Amino acid sequence: MATVLAIETSCDETAVAIVKNRKVLSSIIASQIPVHRQYGGVVPEVASRQHVETINQAIAQAFEEAGTDWAEIEGIAATCAPGLVGALLVGLSAAKTLAILQNKPFVGVHHLEGHIYASYLSAPDLEPPFLCLLVSGGHTSLIYVKDCGMYEKLGETRDDAAGEAFDKVARLLQLGYPGGPAIDKLAREGNPNAFPLPEGKVSLPSGGYHPYDSSFSGLKTAVLRLVQKLEQEGVQPLPVNDIAASFQDTVARSLTRRAIACALDRNINTIAVGGGVAANSGLRKHLQAAAETHNLRVIFPSLKFCTDNAAMIGCAAAEHLDRGHTSPLTLGVRSRLAI
């Protein structure tokens, strides 16, 4: 398998990694979170500038940490879509420039493909077919991974992504940005049964509910109504731990139910989880327990490879390179692109 230098700059992390044989030799993640926190979310133009300022140093650090040099690198990869266009351009341009200078093959990687392959880093024996529960800030999907580059979407959210719901509820509870980790932390101290909240369901025209699709906007509104009700009743301070725990538990149960139903219906015995929300302790607990009950294998990436990183991009690129897949140097970035 190939040794790859990978760059990921689709949002607010300037990430560079060197990956070999599903093994991470180095992974540098220069987070911009403190810069964006003052604005309450990611400011695209600020993100692009930060990537420009940080990228060269991150590449140098990745080589230093891995103890490798250019002679060992067999390919250069970067995220090409989806994401913030200006931010993506920084990483993609850097990768293409290095590919020309070093005369190495270049591979553009879909960001979500990276999240799928993050599970290979914690379970190097994993091979398709498997089901991926992809839960990030921008996406919530159930993807059937038939083979490298062959994906079928079996379920998705009809409105907010799971991570987006965490971020919005955190904003409502004034917990700051990013919201997922803040809610996760508070939920550990709270009672998940304190406030029954509705699990969003997607109705089918023929009656009943879609078994794999999810909806989180109603849940977010239910939390808003709950907060307003408690405030009207003069409850002070707000029981944020219990609200966070109840919300998190509802999301975790909803995702678990859909992933398990999909795996069982399709006769798929392995579920790999990917994306920032894969770091969530409630989801990890519920899905692990349900998978054991049904005799399914469930794989979570290690916490540092759930949220955005370049190691997952390198891992996906290595799989493609092994199959002789490369990208032309004319490849551009796309803010949206189906996997």
Identify which of residues 249 and 308 has a Cβ nearer to Zn ion in the complex: 308
Residue 90 annotated in ligand binding: no
Identify which of residues 275 and 314 has a Cβ nearer to ligand KG4 in the complex: 275
Residue 141 annotated in ligand binding: no
Interface pattern 132-161 for Zn ion (x via CB under 5 A): ----x-------------------------
Half-sphere exposure in the Cβ direction for 3 (13 Å, CA): 14
Q: Which does 184 bind (CB under 5 to 8 A by kind): Zn ion, ligand KG4, none?
A: ligand KG4
DSSP for 125-188, written as a single string: T--SSEEEEEE-SS-EEEEEEEETTEEEEEEEBSSS-HHHHHHHHHHHTT--SSHHHHHHHHHT
Within 290-319, which residues bind Zn ion (CB under 5 A)? 308
Q: Which does 277 bind (CB under 5 to 8 A by kind): Zn ion, ligand KG4, none?
A: ligand KG4
Identify which of residues 146 and 188 has a Cβ nearer to ligand KG4 in the complex: 188
Output the smallest distance, CB 11 to Zn ion, in A: 7
Half-sphere exposure in the Cβ direction for 43 (13 Å, CA): 11
Identify which of residues 105 and 181 has a Cβ nearer to ligand KG4 in the complex: 181
**For the chain, how are helix, strand and coil distributed in percent, rounded to 5?**
45, 20, 35
- Whole-angstrom distance, CA of residue 177 vs CA of residue 60: 29
Output the smallest distance, CB 177 to ligand KG4, in A: 8
Residue 138 annotated in ligand binding: yes
Under a CB-based contact definition with an 8 Å cutoff, are residues 272 and 116 in contact? Answer: yes
- Dihedral angle of Cα 328, 332, 333, 337, to the nearest 10 degrees: -70
- Whole-angstrom distance, CA of residue 87 vs CA of residue 65: 24
Residues of this chain that bind Zn ion (CB under 5 A): 136, 308
Please give the annotated binding residues for substrate, written as ranges. Answer: 134-138, 167, 180, 184, 280
Please give the annotated binding residues, written as ranges. Answer: 111, 115, 134-138, 167, 180, 184, 280, 308
Please give the annotated binding residues for Fe cation, written as ranges. Answer: 111, 115, 308
